[in-house]
């Protein structure tokens, strides 16, 4: 729109605006209103903003009565005479478009291959120009840039056509150059038109062939000719970006920038000519700008010059990159004065990576009303701290420095300290980490026993009871819960779906579906307690296959579909740390080499996160902590191989940082998966001594609490809800861990030998916003409830059908 306002359509189909508010670049969301409507392009014509969706519908942005921008349907309709009773409107779906050279009109290629013109917007005036005889209009190469009202299109077969409504016939075909050693058919994409590149009165239309060569269609002295420039050695060109290098009294100087199939950018410096077409390319004219470190430029998408010396390119990982002159441009640089190239002894370009919003799987925060009304206008950013209190931030972002944490997998130069053979999974790995699964908050959860039985603990008619879900094969773990259906894995590694069909319960073997795989793990959590999960048409569960690959299983709308997401090239996957709770569209995993990686669901690319060589992560699942959807500030919590707590923290101004919390005491190591987490400032962990520990934030400082394990005077008494008389060890307390309760251990030792109330190193689950279920070493379960804030207490012990510590319970067979 201007050098202060840049509109971007993301790979995810989102629309966002990068706006310079005088202090910094901020982002505003402008997504299309229809759920599932993916935007593919934005057009700005006569101060009107239009957006095109992937489905071919066109939208216009208007200002509502409340002064808010809204999208309204602007899809063209052409009246078709059907019969004597009246007319019927036919909706026209659009494939692509291009704003005219003078900025007054927009030309579109429809999905039927016709050329459509939007001549006026208020009221809409559409003109259908048809299509070339025996061909279609697949892309617009030039919109009235060569001659007024003359449009150049490219067919899907790769032929160039000229449309001039004032001539007869209106459509003319430009014959390809014959007898060449390359494929002369053209890529259907927008070309680049330059005037005077080959003489004072010459006109050049630069295009690309399907084998990635640069060609020029040149008009000079009323004669057309083809000129072939080829491509850099071993490179295939995929898009063209015209760039103005100089615009002063000495004239206008242009270069052409190209993206290649390898993700690099090349520049072709157009030499000044006397009007004689050069048939041979000039090798010295090609200049390589390669690509940013640990990132590749998106193929087939043109860049955008925002001012002299600054060009934006989309990256294949969903971010943007700015190619700019040294000392000009970058994340923290706003629009600046133009540079006179003649005064520079050498022109040096640098790359800066610009972050993208969460819709693309990245970390740029939107500037919205909830985060402070002064964000966009006055250049003040209100950043909620970990306590939820907004504080005004005056310091700048670190910019592209934070992007250095994202590495191309395998380039970190660090390998595992142990051979991969030593990272074999223990036999009980699945059951330990996926033993329990919450189903309906506060009312139902599942237990998978060591013997392979599936039980559901259900609250119905004011009574808690156990239901047994029978299956012909032993079940090893509960891997996920989506829309009231449970996903489990059996002893064969098959993913099974337990769902209700009308009044009956049924099993579905998902692994038996097309491209199904055997798995050994899944996402650790189905959501964050207290937060409503947003349902989308792309919802999926992710699993880890037996051979260490990430698998995506689409579950939305019951349109089941498997997809192999592969694994990082230098390691196999051990476990999923987090699926889309810390970052939308991002799955964090730990490799069998003990390092952290992420998979972007939108771009389907892997990244390795920077990690010091001495830090080796355990292969256990992790826990995400994010206090608010309005802020991207949050953390991943994992364990190191030596049993210490490790945090990987993000905030807008410092980027990613590793924090090693260690363990609550020198004689205690942490065992089992960390979690669950609550309210963005509380995390539960299990110690090697069978105690539960709470890591919580108090006045911006992390502290420990010892929650011990549940004690009772009679180990067989069920459902003790903290009645009067319980000793203080029932509560989480700030204690001296070296003097942990010896008297409590002695009390336990006096109990039935089949009863052991210490907490087992099995991943617990959140039953509700104020409730956690742990498994004890004797096979029973224990519930801990929050009284207020960070104050928790043991609430009850729950007998299970398989525990030898005698208990009474209600059980029934689910059918």
Q: pLDDT digit string (tens) for 364-390?
A: 988 866 554 445 655 555 454 444 434
Q: What is the pLDDT of residue 248?
A: 58
Peptide bond into 169 cis (omega under 30): yes
pLDDT at 344: 46
pTM: 0.90
* Residue 36 pLDDT level (bands cut at 50, 70, 90): low
Query: CA 759 to CA 216: how far, in whole Å?
Result: 74
Q: Give the model's pLDDT for residue 340.
A: 56
Q: Which pLDDT does position 394 carry in this prediction?
A: 36
What's the pLDDT score for residue 431? Answer: 87
What span, in angstroms and rounded, lies between the C-alpha atoms of 755 and 710? 12
- Mean per-residue pLDDT, 237-262: 84
Please, what is the average pLDDT of the chain? 85
| Residue 510 predicted with pLDDT over 90 | yes
**From the CA atom positions of the chain, what is the Rg in Å?**
32
| Phi, psi of 180, deg, nearest 5 | -95, 160
Look at residue 251 in the predicted model and tell me its pLDDT. Answer: 59
Q: Please provide the distance, in angstroms rounded to a whole number, between the alpha carbons at the two ends of the chain.
A: 61
Residue 748 lies in a domain: yes
How far apart CA 48 and CA 52 sit, in angstroms, is 13
446 vs 278, more confident: 446
pLDDT band at 275 (very low <50, low <70, confident <90, very high): very low
Confidence of residue 85 (pLDDT cuts 50, 70, 90): very low
Distance CA 782, CA 795 (A): 8
DSSP state letter for 634: E
Residue 728's φ and ψ, nearest 5 degrees, are: -65, -15
pLDDT (0 to 100) of residue 814: 65
Look at residue 560 in the predicted model and tell me its pLDDT: 96
The total of structural domains in the chain comes to: 1
- Give residue 500's pLDDT band: very low, low, confident or very high (50, 70, 90): confident
The CATH number of the domain holding residue 448 is 2.130.10.10
67 in a structural domain? no
**DSSP secondary structure string for all residues of 411-460:** -S----SS-GGG-PPPTTHHHHHSSEEEEETTTEEEEE-TTS-EEEEEEE
Average pLDDT over residues 769-785: 95
Please state, as a whole number, how many other Cβ atoms lie within 10 Å of the Cβ of residue 9: 19
Alpha carbon distance 482, 438 (integer Å): 11
Count Cα atoms within 13 angstroms, Cβ side, for 501: 7
Residue 365 included in any domain = no
Q: Residue 234 corresponds to which tokens in the numbers above?
A: 């071993």
Is residue 697 assigned to a domain? yes
Contact call for residues 793 and 468 (beta carbons, < 8 A)? no
**Structure confidence at residue 648 (pLDDT):** 98
Q: Give the rounded percent of residues in the chain with a pLDDT score beyond 70.
A: 82
Does residue 625 sit within a domain? yes
Residue 241 counted as domain residue:
no
Those residues whose C-beta lies under 8 Å from the C-beta of residue 735, and which sit 6 or more positions away, are 706
* Calpha distance 603→502 (Å, rounded): 38
Lowest pLDDT segment from 44-58, 334-348, 698-712 = 334-348
Rounded Cα distance between 542 and 565, Å, is: 9
More confident residue, 381 or 201: 201
Is the model's pLDDT at 787 over the cut of 50? Answer: yes
Q: How much is the pLDDT for 509?
A: 97
Q: What is the mean pLDDT of residues 18-26?
A: 86
For position 221, what pLDDT does the model report? 85
Per-residue pLDDT at 725 exceeds 50? no
pLDDT digits (tens, 9 = 90+) for 138-190: 999 999 999 999 999 999 999 999 999 999 999 999 998 766 666 789 999 99
Please tell me the distance from the alpha carbon of residue 671 to that of residue 662, in angstroms, as a whole number. 12
- Residues 494 and 518 sit within 8 Å (Cβ to Cβ): yes
The mean pLDDT of 211-221, rounded to a whole number, is 93
- pLDDT range class, residue 334, cuts 50, 70, 90: confident
pLDDT in tens, 342-356: 544 467 899 999 999
Cα separation, 395 vs 721, in Å, equals 50
Q: Report whether pLDDT(277) > 70.
A: no
Closest to 428 (Cα-Cα) out of 364, 495, 476: 476
User: Which of 181-185, 529-533, 706-710 is modeled with the greatest confidence?
Assistant: 706-710
Q: Is residue 411 part of a domain?
A: no
Task: Quote the pLDDT of residue 78.
Answer: 72
Model confidence at 327, pLDDT cuts 50, 70, 90, reads: confident
pLDDT attached to residue 537: 85
Query: What is the C-alpha separation between 776 and 786, in angstroms, rounded?
Result: 19
Are the beta carbons of 264 and 286 closer than 8 angstroms?
Answer: no
H or E element at residue 742? helix 742-749
Work out the pLDDT band at 34, boundaries 50, 70, 90: confident
Determine the average pLDDT of the residues in 73-80: 79
672 within 8 A of 620, measured Cβ to Cβ: yes
In this structure, of 250-264, 337-351, 573-587, 717-731, the range with the lowest mean pLDDT score is 717-731
Structural domain includes residue 525: yes
With contact defined as beta carbons under 8 Å apart, do 205 and 146 qualify? yes
**Contacts made by residues 366-371, CB under 8 angstroms, sequence distance 24+:** 366/16, 366/27, 366/28, 366/29, 367/19, 367/26, 367/27, 367/28, 368/28, 368/29, 368/630, 370/630, 371/630, 371/631
The whole domain housing 492 covers 420-813
- For the ranges 166-175, 250-259, 463-472, which has the lowest average pLDDT? 250-259
Section 223-242 average pLDDT: 94
Residue 483: is its pLDDT beyond 70? yes
């Amino acid at each position: 729109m201007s050098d202060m306002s840049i509109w971007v359509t993301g790979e995810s189909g989102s629309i966002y605006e990068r706006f310079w508010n005088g202090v910094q670049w901020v982002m505003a969301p402008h997504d299309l209103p229809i759920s599932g409507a993916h935007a593919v392009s934005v057009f700005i014509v006569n101060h009107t903003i239009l957006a095109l969706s992937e489905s071919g519908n066109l939208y216009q942005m208007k200002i509502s009565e409340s002064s808010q921008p809204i999208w309204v349907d602007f899809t063209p309709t052409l009246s078709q005479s059907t019969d004597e009773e009246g007319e019927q409107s036919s909706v026209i779906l659009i494939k692509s478009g291009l704003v005219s050279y003078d900025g007054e009109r927009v030309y579109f290629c429809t999905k039927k291959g016709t050329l459509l013109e939007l001549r006026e917007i208020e009221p809409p005036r559409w003109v259908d120009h048809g299509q070339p005889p025996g061909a279609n209009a697949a892309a617009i190469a030039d919109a009235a840039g060569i001659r007024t009202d003359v449009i150049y299109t490219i067919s899907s077969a790769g032929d160039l056509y000229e449309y001039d409504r004032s001539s007869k016939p209106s459509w003319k075909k430009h014959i390809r150059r014959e007898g060449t050693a390359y494929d002369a058919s053209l890529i259907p994409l927008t070309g680049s038109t330059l005037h005077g590149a080959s003489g004072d009165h010459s006109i050049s239309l630069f295009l690309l062939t399907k084998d990635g060569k640069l060609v020029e269609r040149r008009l000079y002295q009323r004669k057309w000719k083809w000129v072939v420039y080829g491509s850099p050695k071993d490179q295939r060109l995929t898009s063209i970006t015209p760039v103005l290098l100089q615009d002063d009294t000495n004239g206008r100087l242009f270069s052409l920038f190209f993206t290649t199939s390898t993700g690099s950018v090349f520049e072709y410096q157009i030499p000044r000519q006397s009007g004689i077409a050069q048939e041979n390319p000039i090798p010295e004219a090609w200049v390589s700008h390669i690509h940013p470190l640990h990132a590749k430029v998106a193929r087939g998408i043109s860049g955008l010059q925002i001012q002299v010396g600054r060009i934006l390119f989309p990256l294949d990982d969903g971010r943007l990159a700015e190619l700019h002159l040294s000392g000009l441009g970058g994340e923290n640089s706003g629009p600046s004065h133009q540079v006179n190239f003649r005064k520079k002894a050498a022109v040096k370009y640098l790359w800066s990576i610009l972050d993208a919003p969460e819709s693309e799987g990245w970390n740029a925060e939107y500037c919205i009303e909830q985060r402070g009304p002064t964000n966009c206008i006055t250049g003040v950013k209100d950043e909620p701290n970990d306590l939820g209190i907004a504080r005004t931030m005056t310091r700048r972002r670190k910019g592209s420095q934070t992007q250095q944490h994202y590495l191309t997998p395998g380039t970190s130069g660090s390998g595992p300290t142990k051979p991969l053979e030593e990272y074999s999974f223990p036999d009980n790995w699945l059951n330990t980490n996926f033993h329990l699964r919450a189903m309906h908050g506060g009312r139902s959860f599942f237990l998978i026993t060591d013997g392979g039985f599936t039980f559901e603990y259900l609250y119905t008619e004011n009574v808690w009871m156990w239901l047994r879900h029978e299956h012909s094969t032993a079940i090893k773990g509960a891997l996920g819960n989506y829309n009231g259906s449970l996903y489990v894995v059996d002893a064969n590694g098959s993913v099974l779906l337990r769902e209700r069909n009308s009044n009956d319960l049924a099993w579905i073997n998902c692994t038996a579906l097309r491209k199904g795989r055997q798995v050994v793990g899944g996402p650790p959590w189905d959501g964050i307690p207290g937060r409503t999960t947003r349902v989308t048409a792309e919802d999926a569960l992710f699993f880890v296959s037996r051979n260490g690959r990430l698998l995506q299983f689409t579950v939305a709308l019951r349109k089941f579909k498997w997809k192999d997401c592969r694994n990082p090239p230098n390691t196999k996957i051990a476990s999923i740390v987090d699926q889309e709770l810390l970052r939308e569209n991002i799955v964090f995993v730990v490799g069998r080499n003990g390092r952290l990686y992420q998979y972007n669901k939108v771009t389907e690319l892997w990244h390795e996160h920077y990690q010091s060589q001495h830090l080796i992560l355990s292969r256990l699942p992790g826990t995400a902590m994010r206090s608010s959807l309005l802020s991207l500030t949050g953390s991943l919590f994992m364990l190191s191989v030596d049993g210490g707590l490790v945090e990987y923290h993000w905030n807008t101004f410092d980027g990613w940082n590793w924090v090693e919390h260690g363990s609550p005491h020198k004689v205690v190591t942490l065992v089992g998966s960390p979690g669950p987490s609550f309210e963005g400032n509380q995390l539960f962990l299990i110690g090697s001594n069978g105690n539960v520990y709470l890591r919580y934030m108090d006045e911006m400082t992390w502290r420990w609490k010892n929650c011990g394990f549940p004690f009772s005077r009679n180990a067989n008494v069920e459902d003790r809800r903290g009645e009067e008389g319980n000793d203080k060890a029932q509560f989480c307390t700030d204690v001296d861990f070296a003097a942990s309760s010896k008297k409590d251990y002695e009390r336990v030792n006096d109990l039935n030998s089949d009863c052991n109330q210490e907490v087992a190193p099995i991943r617990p689950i959140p039953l509700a916003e104020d409730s956690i279920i742990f498994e004890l070493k004797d096979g029973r379960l224990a519930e801990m409830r929050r009284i207020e804030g960070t104050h928790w207490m043991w609430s009850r012990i729950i007998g299970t059908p398989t525990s030898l510590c005698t208990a009474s319970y209600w059980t029934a067979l689910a059918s």
